[in-house]
Amino acid sequence: EAQVTQNPRYLITVTGKKLTVTCSQNMNHEYMSWYRQDPGLGLRQIYYSMNVEVTDKGDVPEGYKVSRKEKRNFPLILESPSPNQTSLYFCASSGRLAGIQETQYFGPGTRLLVL
């Protein structure tokens, strides 16, 4: 079954304690993204990756890091989490067909609470 998986699904942590949210897709997609969703602000892109070792900032990259060492994985790293990073996080992947963006497949989300 084609899917995007994220772990953990729920996480409570404290300010300053480094954490990693994993994302994996089994569709051999080139493109992967991370979004955060906050009430009243909709979905905002944090980082995206167009292929292995190719990443770029989205609209709200401050406080986050990503890496793309393998095509299927795109972890989101919070080196020193702060309460304003409390949010619902989504990972997404998509392929490319004849140069046209294919649809994005979203993971189930990771709800993060930073105390």
Partner 1 sequence: LAKTTQPISMDSYEGQEVNITCSHNNIATNDYITWYQQFPSQGPRFIIQGYKTKVTNEVASLFIPADRKSSTLSLPRVSLSDTAVYYCLVGRTMAAGNKLTFGGGTRVLVKP
Binding residues vs partner 1 (CB under 8 A): 4, 30-31, 33, 35, 42-45, 48, 50, 56, 58-59, 88, 90, 92, 94, 96, 99-101, 103-109, 111
Cβ proximity to partner 1, 92 vs 114, nearer residue: 92
Q: How many CA atoms lie within 13 A of 12 on its CB side?
A: 1
Cβ proximity to partner 1, 85 vs 93, nearer residue: 93
Write down the least CB distance from residue 48 to partner 1, Å: 4
Strand 76-78 relative to strand 31-38, pairing? unpaired
CA-to-CA distance for 32 and 69, rounded, in angstroms? Answer: 12
CA-to-CA distance for 30 and 66, rounded, in angstroms? Answer: 15
From the list 91, 88, 73, 67, the residue with the least C-alpha distance to 28 is 73
Cβ proximity to partner 1, 73 vs 104, nearer residue: 104
Write down the least CB distance from residue 41 to partner 1, Å: 8
